[in-house]
Structure 1
Amino acid sequence: MTDSELWKIYQKIVFYWHEAELTDGAFAIITAFNPHGKQLTEDENKSAHEKLKQQLLRNTGLVCEISGCSRDLSYQELSFAIQVSREKAMQLAKQWQQNGFYYVTQEGRLWLVPCLLNGMAETDMGWFKDYLVTLP
């Protein structure tokens, strides 16, 4: 799959909160799943997720779990919403070998930010609230 095709897939997303929502301030949504966009096993992804969680707890003290999903919910990636600057989010995404990450501004705009993908521009996807779903 080309970088451009991946970028389009990343824009066809919805999110759901697992626990308390972040409601104040800007935040990043970062995952440790599938580095470089390469599919890992469920166990490998869960292990990476737990390692990222421990790192975030040591460094920030607060993490909120959120999942990024395909619109039909057939594909889901565990992620974390963390209140960090866009620059810090970029560092974390690079460390965890992610093609990109999502950033929600103070005003509530959702941005898709490239990290390891070449030639992709930051994409304003609209209002974050429009990408939230509630599971039945």
Structure 2
Amino acid sequence: MSDSNRDLWYCYQQTQFLLTQAFSPTLSFAIITAHNPLGQILTSCQNRLLDKQLQIEIGKLQQPYRAVVGTSAARDHMEKSWAVPIDKDAAIALGKLFNQNAIYFVEAGHLQLVSCLLDYPEQSLGVFEARVCLVNELPDIYS
């Protein structure tokens, strides 16, 4: 595994989530983004287009979904994401469709980092709520 992939995997392990409303602790769901495929930083315009395409694909699943922002602890890197109540295999397939290195999966209140394109084993990241920051509104990350 390359150093850049190791660095990305480490960053993914540090991710926090901005939500406008808490989730039920009994809900299982995936957190998926289309931003920055393969870990390559794109422009806000490119990310917005990919996000719209992901939202169309999620809509086809006919499941409720909610916007979430994945962020670094310092809030200097943010990616719009979607929380979708689908099973892990479907979430991985969606992640692969959008060339994502990984997705997050929450089950029984526990957060997991799940590889889509990198060769890393699934990793438990602890209690999801410990990574959540409730906000009045999600930041506009396309500015």
Q: Aligned partners of 1:93, 1:109: CA distance in 2, in Å?
A: 19
Q: Aligned partners of 1:21, 1:97: CA distance in 2, in Å?
A: 28
Partner of 1:83: 85
Q: List alignment gaps of at least 5 residues for structure 1.
A: none
Q: Aligned partners of 2:129, 2:74: CA distance in 1, in Å?
A: 17
Q: Aligned partners of 2:22, 2:47: CA distance in 1, in Å?
A: 23
Using the TM superposition, name which of 107-116 and 20-29 deviates more.
Answer: 20-29
Partner of 1:115: 116
TM-score with structure 1 setting the length: 0.91
Percent of aligned pairs with the same residue? 30
Please list the CA deviations of residues 18-66 of structure 1 after superposition, one character each: whole Å capped at 9, or x if unmatched: 4x55424200000000111111110000111011112211222421000
> Any conservation in 1 of the 2:22–2:134 contact (CA below 8 Å)?
no
Q: Aligned partners of 1:102, 1:121: CA distance in 2, in Å?
A: 13
Partner of 1:103: 105
Amino acid at match of 1:77: E
> Any conservation in 2 of the 1:16–1:135 contact (CA below 8 Å)?
yes
* Residues 5-20 of structure 1 mapped to structure 2, 5 A cutoff: 5-18=7-20, 20=21
For this pair of structures, how many residues does the alignment match? 133
> Any conservation in 2 of the 1:16–1:68 contact (CA below 8 Å)?
yes
Partner of 2:5: 3
What is the RMSD of the two structures over their aligned residues, measured on CA atoms?
A: 1.5
Q: Aligned partners of 2:56, 2:65: CA distance in 1, in Å?
A: 10
Amino acid at match of 2:15: I
Amino acid at match of 2:118: L
Q: Aligned partners of 1:21, 1:81: CA distance in 2, in Å?
A: 12
Q: Aligned partners of 1:59, 1:33: CA distance in 2, in Å?
A: 20
SS of residue paired to 2:133: coil
Please list the CA deviations of residues 64-89 of structure 1 after superposition, one character each: whole Å capped at 9, or x if unmatched: 00000000111110000000000100
Q: Aligned partners of 2:41, 2:91: CA distance in 1, in Å?
A: 22
